[in-house]
Structure 1
Amino acid sequence: MSAPARQAADAAIRSGVRLCELHDIPAFEQVARLFDDIWHPDPTDPPITVEMLRALSHAGNYVAGAFDGSTLVGASAGFFAAPVGQVLHSHVTGAVRRGAGFALKLHQRAWALSRGIDVITWTYDPLVRRNAYFNLAKLAARPEEYLPEFYGSMTDAVNAGDESDRLLAVWRLTDPHVVEACEGRPYRPEVPADAVAGVASHQGRPMVGPTDARVVLVALPEDIETLRQQDPGLAKAWRHAVREVLGGMMAQGARVTGLADGCYVVERT
């Protein structure tokens, strides 16, 4: 067994799940139901359809699930991206069992490496702190592009009423930080003493500060999903502050080196 496959197997054991690729309609129907339960989408606009899962799997792309017995508790679907033969784009991953999402990503990594692919990408909402921690610390991926309003208007229960800004996460599968993270050691970047707060939280509200230092910290709200429901105006203020500072700096060539204490660590090159 290769080291990446062993890491995935170990993560599956810790989470109490069985990981496998999916190939048949009943399995794809389970995935669709699971994603409906997670995102509660408009029935006319699901995260992915049974037909698309069937097409992706049949064409040799990545469609996999995490099972507790016969119950599906996590699933992921991705497709080959440019440059051809080098990148897999992970379109959607969702899980309802603690640890199943991590196990699935490690399974996806092992699957990709066994096919000569050493980069996986995906998008995520930059304001969702727990997802940022999962992507940047647990997996040691790096955001490499800020994408304003990437999906246009979204109507599911998680995203409705907000603007669909996304970060493009790039997971370089053989990077030393990634290898360490896949062994269960999350990555935390160094934060120099002279780092400044480009966005800070003051009594729950975003405060935009200076961004002219070498290292800038961009704070995130504690729970943007609840905030969208309870105070849409404040949620929008966070969206625009992070877009202005993080998006603006990345557009100028700054790079995100990781996440520390609920803040993106952004370094000018």
Structure 2
Amino acid sequence: MSDLEIRELHDQREFVELYRLFDDIWHPEPGNPPVTVELMKVFSHTGSYVAGAYRDGELVGGSVGILASGGALHSHVTGALPGQGIGLPLKRHQRDWALARGITKISWTFDPLVRRNARFNLVKLGARPEEYLEDFYGVMADAINEGDRSDRLLAVWRLDEEAAPYPIEDATAGVAERDGMPVVGRADGPVVLVATPRDIETLRRENPEVGRAWRMALREVLGGLMGAGARVVAFTDRGEYVLKLSEGEQPG
């Protein structure tokens, strides 16, 4: 990674370049960009986080975050060209930036169906989902989300805490996978496992009905349990969220 440079952006030309990179990644419909050049300018000018990752002088990734209430940073959008290995260095840069300003909490949203993102957020970074947000952005018109409902998990990365391993004992399968389909099961143990599809992006393109079935299954079980007070405490190698039910909780 010695050829990778990550730095804050302040110049209008840099904002335009990052806007174009995000456009190449998401291919949004006109009028629906992840973030505009004008907002990047405002965020940078008022002390929020706008950064770009450069490899051999070429912009290959970037991140935009907003100072939030409670002395936190909300990471609004982070994107990078595929195969560059930039995600982790970008988040580390964001972490260092926050800590240098006395900020110890970074939040962001992610699609609970995207298994690789869940593994990255929960396993590599040690962030934990703290809220299930149903249809948070409305229908998203871009090439990645394919018009799917925009249910999201709010991930919170507490920089002054370390996520400890959680033993999986007496677990029941709240959502399991069978022949590519979600199967809603029991959610009555002290620990509940919620499976994810192997590749939701491909499902959205090739079998949107199955993709919608996964969305509704996770909304019902993962969203329902979190809404009732269950905590996501881990993510398994098989691609399952691990939820610990609160004492006295009655799954429904």
TM-score norm. by structure 1 comes to 0.88
1:190 CA drift (Å): 2.5
Equivalent residues of 1:124, 1:168 under 8 A apart = yes
Percent identity of paired positions between Structure 1 and Structure 2: 57
Across the two proteins, how many residue pairs are aligned to each other? Answer: 244
Q: SS where residue 186 of structure 2 aligns?
A: coil
1:70 CA drift (Å): 1.4
Amino acid at match of 2:200: I
Amino acid at match of 1:134: F
Are 1:52 and 2:24 matched, yes or no? no
**What residue number does 2:30 align with?**
43
Structure 1 residue runs without a partner (length 5+): 1-11, 178-186
**What residue number does 1:256 align with?**
232
Quick one: distance in 2 between partners of 1:98 and 1:132? Answer: 19
Of stretches 211-220 and 43-52 in structure 1, the one that deviates more from structure 2 is 43-52
Quick one: distance in 2 between partners of 1:189 and 1:77? Answer: 32
- Given the alignment, which residue of 51, 56, 63 partners 1:64? 51
**What residue number does 1:224 align with?**
200
Quick one: distance in 2 between partners of 1:19 and 1:195? Answer: 42
Are 1:140 and 2:140 matched, yes or no? no
**What residue number does 1:268 align with?**
245
Question: Residues 147-166 of structure 1 correspond to what in structure 2 (within 5 A)?
Answer: 147-166=133-152
**What residue number does 1:87 align with?**
72
RMSD value, Cα: 1.1
**1:1-22: CA deviations, max 9, x gaps?**
xxxxxxxxxxx53xx4111000
Segments of 4+ moved more than 4 angstroms? none
**What residue number does 2:117 align with?**
131
Equivalent residues of 2:126, 2:162 under 8 A apart = no
TM-score norm. by structure 2 comes to 0.94
Flag the structure with higher helix content.
1
Quick one: distance in 2 between partners of 1:205 and 1:247? Answer: 18
Q: SS where residue 250 of structure 1 aligns?
A: helix
Q: SS where residue 35 of structure 1 aligns?
A: helix
Quick one: distance in 1 between partners of 2:57 and 2:101? Answer: 28
Are 1:199 and 2:186 matched, yes or no? no
Amino acid at match of 1:152: G
Equivalent residues of 2:146, 2:205 under 8 A apart = no
1:189 CA drift (Å): 3.6
**What residue number does 2:63 align with?**
76
Amino acid at match of 1:149: D
Equivalent residues of 1:259, 1:265 under 8 A apart = yes
Amino acid at match of 2:186: P
Q: SS where residue 66 of structure 2 aligns?
A: strand
Q: SS where residue 192 of structure 2 aligns?
A: strand
Quick one: distance in 2 between partners of 1:130 and 1:93? Answer: 15
Quick one: distance in 1 between partners of 2:20 and 2:65? Answer: 18
Equivalent residues of 1:79, 1:90 under 8 A apart = yes
Quick one: distance in 1 between partners of 2:167 and 2:91? Answer: 25
1:44 CA drift (Å): 1.4
1:205 CA drift (Å): 0.2
1:188 CA drift (Å): 5.4
